[in-house]
Structure 1
Amino acid sequence: MAGKKKRGSFNPLSLAFLDVMSCGFGAVVLLFLILDHTATEARNEADPNLTAEVNLLEDEIVEGQENLFQIRNTLDRVSLEVVEAQGLADRIQSEIDDFLAQLAALEGDSMATEESVEDLRADIQALEEELLRLQSTAEAERGQSNRQFLGDGDRQYLSGMLLGGNRILILLDTSASMLDETLVNVIRTRNMSDTVKKQTAKWRRATRIVEWISAQLPVISQYQVLAFNETVQPALPGSENMWLEVADQDQLNEVVRQVQELVPEGGNNLQAAFQAVASMNPLPDNIYLITDSLPTRNNREPRGSTISARDRLNLYAEAIESLPRNIPVNTILLPMEGDPASAAAFWQLAHLTSGSFITPARDWP
């Protein structure tokens, strides 16, 4: 039995293997504990500089995509315009070809050309006959207006004035005296604003007289409105040395509107107004003068701030000398205190020129 192995005997080989395994495992654990794990954590953290650069690149990519969309839209729009231009060019070329074909046909057929000329002559003759018919109709309706003037109640009564003529001139006094009927109120009002001046009762009445006359003008006539105080100017800016057509209703309405925008101020230079009449070419054949008193100055500088009644009559006589002959002057005299000689003077003017003279009632026009 000596050669048999005893139960529970010690095996040195088994002990050595376990020691080696234990030592190896311990070494691994020791190395794990010794190693610095902060480097790994630092690598896992984001680098701010790299992050900013990545964001910048992403923004550039987005901006590039937007620019790409805009370029594509512009390209589509340009392509559409090219197509439209090409279509227009084709249409124009087609029209040119048609015209050339018609020209070739006319050149190749002289008879057709002569017939076309005869047709044109017949059309011209028909148009001329129609023009003569319209002129005859206009003459038959002479005196009818291109505008309407609606008064309150029955204020559109006959004034006794003959509202006719081929070239009708309206002279509107825009001096400071047209602000009121009394000297005290004139002096008071002339220092107020332009808005207040344009709303005074006397001036509004003067502008409505212009509107009333414009509503009575014959349609086939010409007209002009001149405003005068110390100087003379047309009511419609830019119409100097021009006669306006009554048939142009829009222009006539604009003239009335411009009259309503005028502001009374300064003195009354009737001489300048009549000299402006004399310079018109051709001359008017009917004049309507809207004023309230005799002139207060002439073209010379006044020597003082006041003027006497005799001096005003002398200025009136001087102004009459500048008026061309054989032109009826129809005076509409508005009331003004302190000038009793004006009514007699303007009545004499109407008598000398075969015109008319009225001092209208307060409810006219």
Structure 2
Amino acid sequence: MARRKTEVFSMSFLDCITCAFGSVVLVYTLINAQGGLRAQTVDQTQRAEVSKLEEQVLEGYQKLVVLRNSMIETDKESVRTEGMGTRVLEETERLKVELADSSKETLSRREAIERLKADLKSLEEGNRRLEGASKDPSATGTRVRGFVGQGDRQYLTGLKVGGDRILLFVDVSASMLDETVVNVLRMRNMPESKKLMSQKWRRTVSTVEWLAAQMPLEGQFQIYAFNTKTYALVQGSEGKWLKANDPNSMTEALEKLRKTVPADGTSIENAFLAMNALNPKPDNVIMVTDGLPTQAAAAPLIRKTIDGDARLKLFERAFAKYPRDVPFNVILMPMEGDPMAPAAFWLAARDTGGSFMSPSKDWP
């Protein structure tokens, strides 16, 4: 019997090799799968960290924007604070000036009180004379009002305060505050109490009081104030005549004049138009003013400065409305920069049989 031939690679060996290779493949597959899972886990972790970092970056940007806005607001607040500091210093200086002005105003008020006392004394004297005149017409107290001046001078003026119907015109424009243009501009920005105490205006009021004291008892009167407009000092008496022997009417008119603050420009044409509305017409007109008009009946559409020639033309236009049979008396207060005024008013007074005067500083 022949011997069997022995083979090195038998079926059993191949099975072992195959099983070993399958094991290796399985192990490799398991290792690869575990590695992929671990890589996926690491990737998710890294993505989470990246997202967290991105959120932190965004939050940082937001905080940076807030800080920048805060810094801008801080800079603005610093600028405002510096401005407030400057304003506080300016306000402090202004308050110091106002305090000084207040002290001066207190002194002016004291002077006003003394002058008002003198006015009250004048009123009381006028009432006593009026009472004496009403009881006995032949007595010495025959004037409408008493007047206390600074002295006992008598002036030869040719001014006659007489007639049955006497009309007084009082200029209450801004130029009545002072004799110079610069001081008029300065006075316009002062308090009303300062304006009422200006020397020129006090002289004007005293002049009207003197004229009122010279009126005859048996006559009638009317007092008109005029600037750009014309109105009666006794409220509601426009176009009417008042009795000179009525102390209430005269007192009310003068009290209103003392409280009137000069302002605005001058329209003599409006004054003459108001005069022509009186019925019957006056037989004596006295005007207290300081210069030629600055406008006609209505203000110009375009506001501009006016020279002497234009002011003279405005006066001639206004005087054309004045009746030539009524004496026109003018008391011209001093004012610089209007050289044509004295001649114009003198000619107007001469043409109507009136008088013209430019009083001294201590008159009346």
TM over 0.5: yes
Which residue number in structure 1 is paired with residue 277 of structure 2? 279
The 2-side partners of 1:331 and 1:293 are apart by 10
CA contact (8 A) 2:239 2:274 kept: no
Which residue number in structure 2 is paired with residue 348 of structure 1? 347
Q: Which amino acid aligns with 1:161?
A: L
TM-aligned CA deviation for residue 357 of structure 1: 0.2
Which residue number in structure 1 is paired with residue 331 of structure 2? 332
The 1-side partners of 2:149 and 2:316 are apart by 36
Q: Which amino acid aligns with 1:232?
A: T
TM-aligned CA deviation for residue 260 of structure 1: 0.7
TM-aligned CA deviation for residue 172 of structure 1: 0.3
- Where 2:157 maps in the other structure, the secondary structure is coil
Instruction: State the Cα deviation string for residues 50-72 of structure 1 (Å, max 9, x = none).
Output: xxxxxxxxxxxxxxxxxxxxxxx
**Runs of 5+ unmatched residues, structure 2:** 1-132
CA contact (8 A) 1:297 1:315 kept: yes
1:220 to 218, 221, 238: 218
CA contact (8 A) 1:143 1:218 kept: no
The 2-side partners of 1:247 and 1:269 are apart by 31
TM-aligned CA deviation for residue 162 of structure 1: 1.1
Q: How does 1:1-365 map to 2 (within 5 A)?
A: 144-302=142-300, 303-365=302-364
Q: Percent identity?
A: 45
TM-aligned CA deviation for residue 256 of structure 1: 1.1
So what's the TM-score if we normalise by structure 1? 0.60
Instruction: State the Cα deviation string for residues 291-311 of structure 1 (Å, max 9, x = none).
Output: 000000012332333101110
TM-aligned CA deviation for residue 157 of structure 1: 3.6
Instruction: State the Cα deviation string for residues 238-267 of structure 1 (Å, max 9, x = none).
Output: 211211111112321221111111110000
Distance 1:235 1:155, change over 3 A: farther
Q: Which amino acid aligns with 1:262?
A: T
CA contact (8 A) 1:246 1:252 kept: yes
So what's the TM-score if we normalise by structure 2? 0.60
Which residue number in structure 2 is paired with residue 118 of structure 1? none
Structure 1 outlier segments of 4+, above 4 Å: 140-143
Instruction: State the Cα deviation string for residues 108-145 of structure 1 (Å, max 9, x = none).
Output: xxxxxxxxxxxxxxxxxxxxxxxxxx99x96x899941
Instruction: State the Cα deviation string for residues 306-361 of structure 1 (Å, max 9, x = none).
Output: 10111001000000011123110110000000000000000001100100000001
The 2-side partners of 1:153 and 1:142 are apart by 20
**Runs of 5+ unmatched residues, structure 1:** 1-133
Distance 1:142 1:327, change over 3 A: farther
Shifted more, 320-329 versus 210-219: the winner is 320-329
CA contact (8 A) 2:227 2:266 kept: yes
The 1-side partners of 2:177 and 2:193 are apart by 12
CA contact (8 A) 1:155 1:363 kept: no
RMSD over aligned CA atoms reads: 2.1
